[in-house]
Amino acid sequence: MPEGIIVKALSGYYYVKPLREGLIASHETSVQCRGRGIFKKRGESPLVGDRVVYSLTENGEGMVDELHPRESELIRPPVANVTLAVLLFSVREPDMNLNLLDKFLVHIEHSGLDTLIVLTKQDLADDDGEATQVVKEMYERIGYEVMVTSSRTGIGSEDLRKRLGGGISVFAGQSGVGKSTLLNRIVPGLELETGEISLRLGRGRHTTRHVELMDIGDGGFVADTPGFSQLDFLELGVEELSTCFREFADYAGQCKFRGCTHLHEPGCHVIKAWEAGEIADSRYEHYKLFFNEMKDKKRRY
């Protein structure tokens, strides 16, 4: 029985690229498959990124017969076996949104994926890149990998392509930051549809309609996903929030009270670290904001 990887799911069909000796045969055409009814009975659903066993049918299509165990699974966007989350945020048009970036980081930390922050549109910076450098250094101090790119000038494009080799990455971020443009830059001939930014609305048109894996060479695949303008915390417990802020870890274990919320308790070492400038103001302010947002949601549901 042949094996493959689902590279696209659309309208009830799964498009499977064959595997040859464990490697994706990127030069071969995808096989259009249906899923066995047994998946629905088990409450399972094949996802883009799943490694599968499939069989060919008489009409030249196929049937997904079996799913291999997943290394990871994202609910939103629905992708399996992702190894790296690439968060794209623009320097300008739209302006840098650190609140949304931190919200994405909370979700990615909770999912257990590695993270790469990519700051796009550096060519639009009007301060010689000073603000970009401040953001880059702040997140690098926390322990995140940060790259700066410009699709217009090509800055960082080749370094990014090399970084994405050898695994499945998911691209996510604010709408209009240039995800499709950047992918077009690092994968010549891809020609994804791009959306112009509406300056009046401050956001871009959503140009990506479904999740699809794109072969970028060197054994790397990117899941290009619909742009997001908001995320919610319904799948995350409020008591887990602080563990999704990496820089809290060194201090939280020293807090006076077990289960410290790091908001008002005496003897809280996270608060002391923030007051001492060891935790960035924006990060701590966003932690408090997210904590209260989660508490409000819990009251409503």
- Ligand-binding site membership of 260 (annotated): yes
116 shares a domain with 49: no
36 shares a domain with 94: no
Q: 292: which strand partners?
A: none
Query: How far apart (Å, rounded) are the C-alpha atoms in residues 74 and 246?
Result: 20
Summarised one tens digit per residue, pLDDT across range 215-266 is: 887 778 888 665 444 466 767 889 999 999 999 999 999 999 999 999 999 9
Q: What pLDDT does 252 receive?
A: 96
Asked if the structure places residue 107 within a domain, the reply is: yes
- Ligand-binding site membership of 173 (annotated): yes
220 shares a domain with 86: yes
- Ligand-binding site membership of 267 (annotated): no
Asked if the structure places residue 30 within a domain, the reply is: yes
123 shares a domain with 8: no
Q: What pLDDT does 142 receive?
A: 97
Ranked by mean pLDDT, the top range of 75-89, 120-134, 189-203, 248-262 is 248-262
125 shares a domain with 49: no
- Ligand-binding site membership of 49 (annotated): no
Q: What is the DSSP letter of 206?
A: -
Domain boundary among 35, 69, 103: 69
In order of 59, 133, 186, 208, 273, the CA distances from 151 in angstroms are: 43, 18, 9, 18, 38
Query: How far apart (Å, rounded) are the C-alpha atoms in residues 243 and 81?
Result: 23
By the 8 A CB rule, do 181 and 118 touch? no
| Residue showing tokens 């008489």 | 58
By the 8 A CB rule, do 7 and 17 touch? yes
- Ligand-binding site membership of 151 (annotated): no
* Mean pLDDT to the nearest integer, 274-280: 98
- Ligand-binding site membership of 121 (annotated): yes
Peptide bond into 94 cis (omega under 30): yes
* Mean pLDDT to the nearest integer, 263-292: 97
- Ligand-binding site membership of 176 (annotated): yes
Domain at 52, CATH number = 2.40.50.140
- Ligand-binding site membership of 11 (annotated): no
Asked if the structure places residue 232 within a domain, the reply is: no
pLDDT band for 196, please (50, 70, 90 cuts): very low
93 shares a domain with 31: no
Asked if the structure places residue 230 within a domain, the reply is: no
Count of other CB atoms within 10 angstroms of residue 267: 11
- Ligand-binding site membership of 57 (annotated): no
Number of domains observed in the structure of the chain: 3
- Ligand-binding site membership of 120 (annotated): yes
Q: What pLDDT does 203 receive?
A: 39
194 shares a domain with 250: no
Domain boundary among 50, 69, 88: 69
212 shares a domain with 93: yes
181: enclosing H helix or E strand:
helix 179-186
Query: How far apart (Å, rounded) are the C-alpha atoms in residues 179 and 121?
Result: 11
Asked if the structure places residue 12 within a domain, the reply is: yes
- Ligand-binding site membership of 177 (annotated): yes
Q: Got the DSSP string for 84-103?
A: EEEEEEESTTTTP-HHHHHH
pLDDT band for 148, please (50, 70, 90 cuts): very high
Asked if the structure places residue 246 within a domain, the reply is: yes
Domain at 136, CATH number = 3.40.50.300
- Ligand-binding site membership of 174 (annotated): yes
Mean pLDDT of the chain: 84
For residues 179, 185, 187 and 192, what is the CA-based torsion angle, rounded to 10 degrees? 50
More confident residue, 110 or 241: 241
109 shares a domain with 91: yes
By the 8 A CB rule, do 34 and 22 touch? no
88 shares a domain with 49: no
Asked if the structure places residue 231 within a domain, the reply is: no
Asked if the structure places residue 13 within a domain, the reply is: yes
- Ligand-binding site membership of 202 (annotated): no
CA nearest neighbour of 53 among 66, 36, 63, 70: 66
65 shares a domain with 190: no
CA nearest neighbour of 241 among 179, 181, 172, 291: 291
List the end-to-end C-alpha distance of the chain, in Å, as a whole number: 47
The identity of residue 267, as a single letter, is G
For the whole model, what pTM was predicted? 0.82
Q: Got the DSSP string for 142-175?
A: HT-EEEE--TTT-TTHHHHHHHTTTSEEEEEEBT
Domain boundary among 158, 191, 224: 224
Q: What is the DSSP letter of 130?
A: H
pLDDT at 207 over 50: no
118 shares a domain with 211: yes
Summarised one tens digit per residue, pLDDT across range 29-52 is: 899 999 998 898 898 889 999 999
Q: Print the domain residue range for 57.
A: 3-69
